[in-house]
Structure 1
Amino acid sequence: MSCGHRDACPDGDAPDAAAAVPVARQPEQGWSLLCNGVLLFDDTGAVLPDGDIQPPAGTGARRSESAA
């Protein structure tokens, strides 16, 4: 499935990252892969392409460094 962006897809940490669209979905597992490489979870948490973790919205947690 193609995302349809004419230019490059927005980076995962870019201000326009919300313009990314799902290219793969696993609703039974609660996640979607966006065209910019972000793995988005149903609870609004995310794993960015560089491995950084974005916690779910409203948890008060801070963005953590990638787990290696």
Structure 2
Amino acid sequence: MCQHKPPCPSAESPDREAALLLASHPEQGWSLLCNHVLLFEDTGELLPNGEIIAPHRPVSAAVVAA
């Protein structure tokens, strides 16, 4: 469990990416958050329960305008 005050969002929370960083391995393309979410450089995620969240990069304004 998170010991931070205020506590980090849970892995099930929509704002789970706001959890504090525990380990960063940019050379391998991933980071581990306090809520045990693996966050990948392509913005994909692996949740502690094994659920996969597909990459979700924001769409650029140039693409939206076209």
Instruction: Verify the 8 A CA contact 2:8 2:20 in the aligned structure 1.
Output: no
User: TM-score, with normalisation over the residues of structure 2?
Assistant: 0.71
Structure 1: gaps spanning 5 or more residues: 59-68
Structure 2: gaps spanning 5 or more residues: 58-66
- Choose between structure 1 and 2: higher helix proportion: 2
Task: Tell which deviates more after alignment, 21-30 or 9-18.
Answer: 9-18
**1:5-64, Cα deviation, whole Å (9 max, x unpaired):** 214431112033132021001110000000000000000001001110001015xxxxxx
User: TM-score, with normalisation over the residues of structure 1?
Assistant: 0.69
Q: How many residues in Structure 1 have an aligned counterpart in Structure 2?
A: 56
Identity of aligned pairs, percent?
55
Larger radius of gyration between Structure 1 and Structure 2: 2
The equivalent residue for 2:16 is: 17
